[in-house]
C-alpha cells in the first residue's frame, strides 16, 4: 500500500525520530499497489462485527471505474490491481458489475489486461 498505481521496490527504513528516517537500498522484490478500496470483499461481504458488507454493486462499480479513469488520465503506465475473491466476485450480480467495468476499461486505447507476473516481466523503474 505504498503507492496507488505504480509497482515499486520496497526499502527498509531505519526510524530516527529526531534526525529523520534513513532509507536502505531497494529490495529485489517488486511490490504491486493494493488498496482496500480495490478489494471486493470488504464492501460486499457481511461479517458480523467486522464488515457491514452487502453493499451496492453500483457503488463498487463507480469506485473502481473512478480509480481506473484517474489512473488512465493521469498516471503513465499505471497498474490497477483489483483484488477479487472467487466466493465474492463469482456471484451473479457481482459478475454483471465486473463485466461492465471490463467493458469500460477495454474501451480505452492501450489498456492491457495482464497477470502480475507478466507485468513484473516488463516493468522498469523510470
pLDDT in tens, the chain (126 residues): 888 999 999 999 999 999 999 999 999 899 999 999 999 999 999 888 888 888 899 999 999 999 999 999 999 999 999 999 999 999 999 999 999 999 999 999 999 999 999 999 999 876
Structural domains in the chain (count): 1
In a domain, residue 69? The reply is yes
In a domain, residue 20? The reply is no
Specify the pLDDT at position 126: 65
In a domain, residue 13? The reply is no
In a domain, residue 124? The reply is no
Side-chain-facing half-sphere of 18: CA atoms under 13 Å: 0
Specify the pLDDT at position 55: 86
Specify the pLDDT at position 124: 85
Could you tell me the three cell numbers for 7? 509497482
Could you tell me the three cell numbers for 23? 532509507
Q: Which helix (H) or strand (E) holds 94?
A: helix 92-106
Amino acid at each position: 500500500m505504498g503507492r496507488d498505481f505504480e509497482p515499486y521496490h520496497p526499502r527498509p527504513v531505519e526510524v530516527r525520530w529526531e534526525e529523520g528516517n534513513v532509507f536502505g537500498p531497494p529490495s529485489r522484490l517488486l511490490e504491486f499497489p493494493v488498496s482496500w478500496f480495490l478489494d471486493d470483499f470488504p464492501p460486499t461481504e457481511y461479517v458480523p462485527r467486522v464488515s457491514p458488507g452487502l453493499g451496492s454493486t453500483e457503488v463498487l462499480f463507480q469506485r473502481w471505474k473512478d480509480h481506473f479513469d484517474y489512473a488512465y488520465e493521469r498516471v503513465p503506465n499505471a497498474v490497477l490491481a483489483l483484488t477479487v475473491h472467487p466466493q465474492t466476485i463469482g456471484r451473479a450480480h457481482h459478475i454483471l458489475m465486473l463485466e461492465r467495468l471490463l467493458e469500460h476499461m477495454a474501451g480505452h486505447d492501450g489498456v492491457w489486461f495482464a497477470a502480475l507476473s507478466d507485468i513484473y516481466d516488463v516493468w522498469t523503474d523510470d
